[in-house]
Amino acid sequence: MPDTLHDAGAVTVGEAADAVGLPAKTLRYYEEIGLVVPDRRGNGYRAYRPGEVHRLRFLKRARSLGFSIDDCRVLLSLYGDPGRTSSEVKAIAQQHREAIEHKVAELLSLRDELDRLIDACHGDHRPDCPILDNLAGGR
Amino acid sequence: MPDTLHDAGAVTVGEAADAVGLPAKTLRYYEEIGLVVPDRRGNGYRAYRPGEVHRLRFLKRARSLGFSIDDCRVLLSLYGDPGRTSSEVKAIAQQHREAIEHKVAELLSLRDELDRLIDACHGDHRPDCPILDNLAGGR
DNA sequence: CTTGACCTTCCAGTCACTGGAAGCCCGATA
DNA sequence: TATCGGGCTTCCAGTGACTGGAAGGTCAAG
């Protein structure tokens, strides 16, 4: 576990995972797709430095807000770019917000349609069922 | 295209797809997973009979209501089972409704959180950005 | 020296398709 | 009869974002 002089402050994938609250598998996946690429120790073990752990935390938070991996890639690069503008960041967030809003509208419409079918179905021991009738009727 | 005496009323995958409004690829996929398995003509072509086209329409409608393929499998089997009870059907629909409701709640919570961040961000040419700050701060 | 907990890579599976390649079949035209 | 175009066949791979598992290397402790 040392290499302490060479990899000062660096931690293994398991330690980084515990520190951030993501599975180690996910960290390996993020490396594979080039999101957070740690150094390696002499034995081949990943060595996450504090900056990379920080990026992982950033990623975890962004993912928990529903941003796609591609969005996260852009957000991370903006985060690391002193020449960014806040309008670039805001645009991504707004686009994501609209996508969510759109999906909510879809789901609410589905829910309402299901509610109508569920209300129409007595739900007893008999076989006749307005839900199946609707599915079969296709309309 | 005949075989008319043997496969009366049966249509090819393309014709069935057009009739139902699903891509032919999807019909082949539904056969692969055992949802709707048509006969074959002498030349190997799929032969969808009216009953199978009907099941495909049922599937299309159920999928458009957001039911999973597994749900659809059960719904189809209930549809074809005279001994079913409407309560079985209703239970599936209610479970699906609750899953949708749950997802809506999640998305609305995400949306509200995004709204707060978006409102806090002035969105101009300057680099400082509460959205990035929040992602980086993790809290 | 062995145990056990790590770590490594690679492969497969998830869900419901979708795209594409290679090749067969059929009706219609030249 | 040759061939052309369109539709049919199968099989393989990719999507998003991981997740599970197998086979094997590494390391500190007992």
β-bridge pairing A46-47 and B46-47: unpaired
Residue A55 CB lies within 7 Å of the nucleic strand C: no
- A62 pLDDT higher than 60: yes
- A30 pLDDT higher than 60: yes
Nearest nucleotide by C1' position to the A13 CA atom? C7
Instruction: Give the residue numbers spanning the domain of A111.
Output: 85-139
Q: Which of A10, A77, A20 is nearest to A42 (CA)?
A: A10
A37 and A58 in a common domain: yes
B78 and B95 in a common domain: no
- A1 vs B47 pLDDT, higher one: B47
B108 and B70 in a common domain: no
β-bridge pairing A39-40 and A46-47: antiparallel
**Rounded Cα–Cα distance for residues B78 and B32 (Å):** 21
Q: Which of B100, B122, B30, B28 is nearest to A118 (CA)?
A: B100
- A2 pLDDT higher than 50: no
* pLDDT in the model for residue B137: 87
Half-sphere exposure of B97 (CA within 13 A, CB side): 16
Residue A42 CB lies within 7 Å of the nucleic strand C: no
SS3 (DSSP) at B39: strand
- pLDDT, averaged across chain A: 93
- A5 pLDDT higher than 80: no
Cα–Cα distances in angstroms (integers) from residue A9 to residues A1, A13, A41, A45, in the given order: 11, 13, 12, 14
Length of chain A: 139
* pLDDT in the model for residue B8: 73
**Rounded Cα–Cα distance for residues B131 and B122 (Å):** 10
Q: Give the residue from B62, B84, B106 where a domain finishes.
A: B84
A109 and A89 in a common domain: yes
* pLDDT in the model for residue B76: 97
Distance B29 CA to D10 C1' (A): 13
Task: Please say whether the beta carbons of A36 and A52 come within 8 A.
Answer: yes
- A30 vs A4 pLDDT, higher one: A30
Residue A63 CB lies within 7 Å of the nucleic strand D: yes
Residues 45-74 of B with CB under 7 A from strand C: 63, 68-70
Nearest nucleotide by C1' position to the A29 CA atom? D18
When CB atoms are compared, the residue of B86, B113, B115 closest to A126 is B86
DSSP H or E run through B45: none
Task: Please say whether the beta carbons of B35 and B59 come within 8 A.
Answer: yes
**A43: closest CA of chain B, how far (Å):** 31
Residue A19 CB lies within 7 Å of the nucleic strand C: no
Q: What are the residues facing B40 on neighbouring strands? A: B46
Cα–Cα distances in angstroms (integers) from residue A26 to residues A63, A89, B97, in the given order: 12, 25, 31
A66 and A53 in a common domain: yes
**Rounded Cα–Cα distance for residues B93 and B75 (Å):** 10
Q: What is the CATH number of the domain that holds B46?
A: 1.10.1660.10
B133 and B95 in a common domain: yes
B111 and B94 in a common domain: yes
State how far Cα B71 lies from the chain centre: 10
DSSP H or E run through B47: strand B46-47
Searching chain A, which residue's CA lies closest to the CA of residue B126? A85
B22 and B36 in a common domain: yes
Dihedral in degrees, nearest 10, Cα atoms B81, B87, B88, B92: 130
User: Which nucleotides of strand C lie within 7 A of protein CB?
Assistant: 6-9, 15-19, 25-27
The low-confidence residues of chain B, meaning pLDDT below 50, are: 1-5
* pLDDT in the model for residue B1: 41
* pLDDT in the model for residue B119: 98
SS3 (DSSP) at A21: coil
pLDDT for A65-91, tens place per residue?
Answer: 999 999 999 999 999 999 999 999 999
When CB atoms are compared, the residue of B57, B113, B121 closest to A89 is B121
* pLDDT in the model for residue A138: 53
Task: Please say whether the beta carbons of B81 and A57 come within 8 A.
Answer: no
* pLDDT in the model for residue B69: 97
Structure-token pair, residue B80: 């074809």
In this predicted structure, which of A6-10, A99-103, B3-7, B112-116 has the lowest mean pLDDT?
B3-7
pLDDT for B60-86, tens place per residue?
Answer: 999 999 999 999 999 999 999 999 999
A89 and A76 in a common domain: no
